[in-house]
């Protein structure tokens, strides 16, 4: 193990490293100095893909700011200026706008990976928390970024989302007070646009900070793995570089192809045509939909008839992830050895996708036409109940009652056994 | 000796505790007073607060029509109600409602219904039923989450918690109203 300690041979590098051991830090974090379990599959690729997307968003974002004007009179036109006049402006903006969606896709898979293989379980609870904090920061950043082009969906999406905070009306005028503080006026207007722009620029760097903490917290216990058992002896681990740097780079090349298909062939598929109309405070679009990555939570909001309780329920649907390490009482991490857990995990995922689908529908829209018809509101309520019962009932009970399959003694042993099987 | 030591020691701790608490309090007050301007700058600025009232000429609005004007950057509906609509609004006073309110209290002159055109749920602009035909109560329908308001602007169905708000206004004469 010690042979992988970073020892520069070049005298100049050694002189530098003695005074600021940052190269050794990188070597131990992303290089040969970090020992990762030898059995990581491609689901473990998505952490580095998320890191890649964060860098892409920051670089394209910084470039876009060089051409964008954060003012209600000029924002919409400056975005059109980027699309039509700025050299490669169309490319940079499409990479940034589709990049947001790609970032969320990758992070959702990363979170689901953690759920399936029990990566949130001891000793990685803080690592899980930091990941959720990153996700919450991403939601805030994505929302504020969507407001900046100052199109119809920007304006009305912002109106609906900021009004959520008006539900906290515990004494007369408190709700309005909160809203006026958020908006800097009596409605979404120039002060709102400018503060959203400021924060949209700031938060990605806060995310970078939390990502560093996330990686720090990862490297104390080390990566989880598909078997969910602790990596013990040297036979269980391989150096991150070159093994996983190569594997991640290969996965990245695949990912970039998919990303490019969206940027070059379907650049507006995840957007909404209404956002190519400038914001108009007198006309609400006939149907407001948030970006796809918020849709499941939007359905949960719509499912509750009371305003305050709806808002609390929606926030709870995200915050409940913080409790997952304790809701899950199983001694085994990976769902590979927990068939009932795995079954309900896939059911949870299907339900979450269905919630997202319902989010695009009007509450009164008939979804199932059999037997008089069932509308989106009713289905949304059923789905929301299932969403919460997964956390509150299914996971706590199943994890404590399920008879798990035998877990291999070590990662190395499992690899050898699988070779024998072949 | 030992008692003496303990007393001295005890006095020391008390004095030190006092200094800790005192400097802590000064620190907290200092940080809070430095933070307040940074929070308060988010609130509406003087020029936004100074937005004046608006005067509207009502003579051009035909019976059964609604106009929408901007006041403080927010839409205000002014509807010239028909006799049938007024009768319906008053007849439904006793119907079950989430936020019961008599129609007579919502309109100073029954033919002029003046309301802030913002859904009390999440701030969308409701659609006029006489133009879009999307609700059951003859008033307004919010396209965002399906709240329905009657011809008095009262919430009758859907998630909105309150009736559409009525702004302060005065009639300067028969055909001019001042809002704000």
**Confidence check: pLDDT of B3 > 60:** no
Given A181, A286, A288, which is nearest B43 (Cβ)? A181
| 3-state SS string for chain B | CHHHHHHHHHHHHHHHHHHHHHHHHHHHHHHHHHHHHHHHCCCCCHHHHCCCCEEEECCCCCCCCEEEEEECCEEEEEEECCHHHHHHHHHHHHCCCCCCCCHHHHCCECCEEEEECCCCCCCCCCEEHHHHCCCCCEEEECCCCCCEEECCCCEEECCCCCCCCCCCEEEEECCEEEEC
- CB contact at 8 A, B151 and B138: yes
β-strand pairing of B138-141 with B148-150: antiparallel
How many Å lie between the alpha carbon of B160 and the closest alpha carbon of chain A? 7
Q: Which 3 state secondary structure label does DSSP give A374? A: strand
A163-211: pLDDT as tens digits: 889 889 888 889 889 999 999 988 899 999 999 999 999 999 999 999 9
B125-141: pLDDT as tens digits: 998 877 776 677 888 98
pLDDT at A215: 96
What is the rounded CA–CA span in Å between residue A90 and residue A96?
A: 10
Question: How distant, in Å, are the alpha carbons of A181, A228, A312 from that of A171?
Answer: 16, 50, 17
- CB contact at 8 A, B156 and B137: yes
The fraction of chain A above a pLDDT of 90, given in percent, is 78
**B61-84 burial string, b = 16+ CB within 10 Å, else e?**
beeeebeeeebbebbbbbbbbeee
Indicate the range of A89-98, B45-54, B55-64 predicted with least confidence.
Answer: B45-54
**Confidence check: pLDDT of B55 > 70:** yes
8 Å CB contact of A282 and B70: yes
Q: What are phi and psi of A367, to 5 degrees?
A: -100, -45
**Confidence check: pLDDT of B2 > 60:** no
**Confidence check: pLDDT of B7 > 60:** no
Cis status, amide bond into A143, omega within 30 of 0: no
Binned at pLDDT 50, 70 and 90, residue A398 comes out as very high
What is the rounded CA–CA span in Å between residue A383 and residue A354?
A: 8
Binned at pLDDT 50, 70 and 90, residue B1 comes out as very low
The interface predicted TM-score of the complex, written ipTM, equals 0.71
Q: Which residues of A are known to be catalytic?
A: 219, 223, 247-248, 291
pLDDT at A1: 38
Given B43, B45, B144, which is nearest A284 (Cβ)? B144
Q: What are phi and psi of A254, to 5 degrees?
A: -65, -45
What is the rounded CA–CA span in Å between residue A182 and residue A189?
A: 11
- CB contact at 8 A, B81 and B89: yes
Give long-range contacts, CB 8 A cutoff, 24+ apart: B39-42.
Answer: B39/A181, B42/A181, B42/A182, B42/A184, B42/A195
A114-168: pLDDT as tens digits: 999 999 999 999 999 999 999 999 999 999 999 999 999 999 999 988 988 988 9
Mutation target among B53, B98, B122, B162 for the A interface, most CBs of A within 10 A: B122
What is the rounded CA–CA span in Å between residue A384 and residue A317?
A: 9
Determine the average pLDDT of the residues in B112-137.
84
Count Cβ–Cβ pairs < 8 Å, chain A vs chain B: 87
Chain A residues whose CB is inside 8 A of the B68 CB are 282
8 Å CB contact of B75 and A282: yes
Determine the average pLDDT of the residues in A223-246.
92
- To the nearest 10°, report the CA torsion of B128, B134, B140, B141: -120
pLDDT at A3: 43
Cis status, amide bond into A123, omega within 30 of 0: yes
Delimit the domains of chain B by residue range: 1-43, 48-179
8 Å CB contact of B127 and A281: no
Q: Apex CA A293: angle with CA A352 and CA A30, to 5°?
A: 100
pLDDT at A364: 76
Chain A residues whose CB is inside 8 A of the B48 CB are 184-186, 189, 191
Kind and range of the H or E run holding A247: helix A245-265
- With CA atoms as reference, the chain B residue closest to A155 would be B124
What is the rounded CA–CA span in Å between residue B180 and residue B56?
A: 11
A413 touches chain B (CB under 8 A): no
Tell me the whole-structure pTM to 2 decimals: 0.86
Chain A residues whose CB is inside 8 A of the B75 CB are 281-282
pLDDT at A284: 85
A369-393: pLDDT as tens digits: 877 788 888 999 999 999 999 999 9
A345-377: pLDDT as tens digits: 999 999 999 999 999 988 778 888 877 788 888
A273-331: pLDDT as tens digits: 999 999 998 888 878 888 999 999 999 998 988 888 999 999 999 999 999 999 999 99
What is the rounded CA–CA span in Å between residue A150 and residue A64?
A: 15
**Confidence check: pLDDT of B29 > 50:** yes
pLDDT at B134: 67
**Confidence check: pLDDT of B8 > 80:** no
8 Å CB contact of B73 and A286: no
Binned at pLDDT 50, 70 and 90, residue A419 comes out as confident
B143 touches chain A (CB under 8 A): yes
Given B73, B125, B142, which is nearest A186 (Cβ)? B73
Where is pLDDT greater, at A374 or B10? A374
Indicate the CATH number of B48-179 among 1.10.357.10, 3.30.200.20, 3.50.50.60, 2.102.10.10: 2.102.10.10
A14-64: pLDDT as tens digits: 999 999 999 999 998 888 889 999 999 999 999 999 999 999 999 999 999
**Residue A284: closest CA among A160, A161, A162:** A160
8 Å CB contact of A191 and B125: no
């Amino acid at each position: 193990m010690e042979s992988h300690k970073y020892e520069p041979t070049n005298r100049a590098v050694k002189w530098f490293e003695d005074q600021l051991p940052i190269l050794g830090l990188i070597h131990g974090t992303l290089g040969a100095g970090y020992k990762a379990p030898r059995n990581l599959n491609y689901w473990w690729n998505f952490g580095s893909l998320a890191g890649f997307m964060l860098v892409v968003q920051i670089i394209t974002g910084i470039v876009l700011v060089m051409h964008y004007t954060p003012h209600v009179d000029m924002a919409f036109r400056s975005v059109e200026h980027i699309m039509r006049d700025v050299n490669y402006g169309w490319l940079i903006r499409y990479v940034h706008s589709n990049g947001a969606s790609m970032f969320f896709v990758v992070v959702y898979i990363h979170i689901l990976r953690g759920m399936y293989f029990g990566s949130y379980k001891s000793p990685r609870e803080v690592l899980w928390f930091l990941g959720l904090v990153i996700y919450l920061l991403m939601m805030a950043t994505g929302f504020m970024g969507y407001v900046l082009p100052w199109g119809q969906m920007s304006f009305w999406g912002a109106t609906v989302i900021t009004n959520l905070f008006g539900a906290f009306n515990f004494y007369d005028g408190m709700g309005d007070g909160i809203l006026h503080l958020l908006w800097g006026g009596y409605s979404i207007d120039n002060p709102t646009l400018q503060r959203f722009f400021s924060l949209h620029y700031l938060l990605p760097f806060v995310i970078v900070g939390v990502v560093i903490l996330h990686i720090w917290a990862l490297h104390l216990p080390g990566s989880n793995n598909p078997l969910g058992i602790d990596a013990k002896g040297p036979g269980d681990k391989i150096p991150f570089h070159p093994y996983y740097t190569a594997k991640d780079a290969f996965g990245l090349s695949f990912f970039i192809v998919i990303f490019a298909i969206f940027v070059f062939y379907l650049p507006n598929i995840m957007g909404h045509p209404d956002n190519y109309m400038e914001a108009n405070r007198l006309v609400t679009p006939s149907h407001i939909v948030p970006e796809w990555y918020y849709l499941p939570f939007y359905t949960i909001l719509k499912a509750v008839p009371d305003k305050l309780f709806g808002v609390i329920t929606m926030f709870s649907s995200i915050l409940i992830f913080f409790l997952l390490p304790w809701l899950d009482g199983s001694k085994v991490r990976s769902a590979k050895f927990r068939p009932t857990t795995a079954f309900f995990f896939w059911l949870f995922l299907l339900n979450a996708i269905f919630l997202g689908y319902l989010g695009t529908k009007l509450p009164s829209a008939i979804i199932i036409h059999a037997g008089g018809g069932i509308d989106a509101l009713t289905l949304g309520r059923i789905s929301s109940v299932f969403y919460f019962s997964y956390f509150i009932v299914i996971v706590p009970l199943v994890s404590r009652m399920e008879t798990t399959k035998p877990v291999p003694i070590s990662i190395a042993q499992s690899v050898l056994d699988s070779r024998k099987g072949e | 000796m030992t008692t003496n030591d303990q007393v001295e020691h005890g006095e020391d701790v008390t004095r030190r505790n006092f200094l800790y608490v005192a400097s802590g309090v000064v620190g907290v007050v200092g940080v809070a007073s430095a933070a307040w301007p940074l929070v308060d700058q988010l609130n509406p600025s003087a020029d936004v607060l100074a937005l004046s009232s608006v005067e509207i000429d009502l003579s051009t609005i035909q019976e059964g029509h609604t106009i929408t004007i901007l006041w403080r950057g927010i839409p205000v509906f002014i509807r010239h109600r028909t006799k049938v609509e007024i009768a319906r609004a008053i007849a439904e006073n006793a119907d079950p409602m989430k936020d019961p309110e008599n129609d007579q209290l919502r309109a100073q002159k029954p033919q002029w219904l003046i309301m802030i055109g913002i859904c009390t749920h999440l701030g969308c602009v409701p659609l006029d039923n006489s133009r879009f035909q999307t609700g059951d109560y003859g008033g307004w329908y919010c396209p965002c989450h399906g709240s329905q308001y009657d011809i008095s602007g009262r919430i009758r169905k859907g998630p909105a918690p309150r009736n559409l708000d009525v702004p302060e206004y005065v009639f300067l004469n028969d055909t001019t109203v001042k809002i704000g």
